[in-house]
Amino acid sequence: MRLVSFREGGKEGWGVLLEDRVVPSNLLGEDVPTSIQALLSDAQRWSTLVKTLPERAAGFPGLALAKTELLPCVPRPGKIICLGVNYVDHAKEGGNQIGDYPSIFLRCATSLLAHGAALKVPKVSDKLDFEAELAVVIGRKARFVSQEDALDAVFGYACFNDATLRDYQRKTAQWTIGKNFDDTGAFGPCLVTADELPPGCVGLHIESRLNGQVMQSADTKDMAFGVARTIALLSESLTLEPGDVLVMGTPGGVGYARTPPVWMKAGDTIEVEIEGIGILSNPVTA
């Protein structure tokens, strides 16, 4: 099933995505949580409730998707944990090596934007790069979980564009500042529940396109640290909570590694597509 978060009449909501329409959750029954975070937080209910939502939604006309103001799949995650250099080809193009433990950095919720929203080139830099990535949304608390049980904590998956200001990324030993400019973390177009995709999203094609030209093209099986292993490792040190988001790293083909470098600029359109999930598309503005 596919879920979206949206804003209508100044109020935030969530609903079921059925092809070209969104059926708001408040039409689906009194037992349906009023927010996407409440749905994710109800560990005992969501596994059964979610399965009933498409049938409930089928009888409603809903909102036209094209006229709906979407929000990031999870508008304000508690934690956004990102992996760096998690594909061998991306590590090679940057002169990096993949170690025995993943490279980890954090994003803030203020950096997120939705499918269709404008990804912004800031005043202070023109070196805005694209990164097609798989996003994992946690649906159950996870602490000291085994790799074999780790996928039980996953609610669903989405596309992510970990757009990065490369000059700011390199201003410090940590990457955080270059990864957290406002309106640079595109997250969408929808949240696809885990039951609709292969376990851990292994074996899916992932691609980015800048103005229609393919820039990155890979398979999620090429991740050095897959979803299950990543969750198990992270849960050794911190508690993963419902609504947390993991962003799984990008394959080779990014802009800074090209000759000459390719940066996103005002007037561009950047797309991230993952097989079975959909296309995350954003215009680029100054």
Q: Per-domain residue ranges for the chain?
A: 2-71, 80-285
- CA distances 130 to 235, 261, 272, Å, are 29, 12, 9
DSSP annotation of 264: B
Q: What is the predicted pLDDT for the residue at 66?
A: 93
Q: What is the predicted pLDDT for the residue at 208?
A: 98
Q: What is the predicted pLDDT for the residue at 89?
A: 86
Q: What is the predicted pLDDT for the residue at 94?
A: 80
- The first and second tokens of residue 61, run together, are 């006309």
Q: What is the predicted pLDDT for the residue at 152?
A: 95
Q: Which amino acid is at 87?
A: Y
Q: What is the predicted pLDDT for the residue at 43?
A: 67
Q: What is the predicted pLDDT for the residue at 238?
A: 97
DSSP annotation of 118: P
Residues in the chain with pLDDT values less than 50: none
Q: What is the predicted pLDDT for the residue at 98?
A: 86
The string of DSSP letters for 1-49 reads -EEEEEEETTEEEEEEEETTEEEEGGGS-TTS-SSHHHHHH-TTTHHHH
Answer whether 178's CB lies under 8 Å from 165's CB.
yes
For domain 80-285, give the CATH number.
Answer: 3.90.850.10
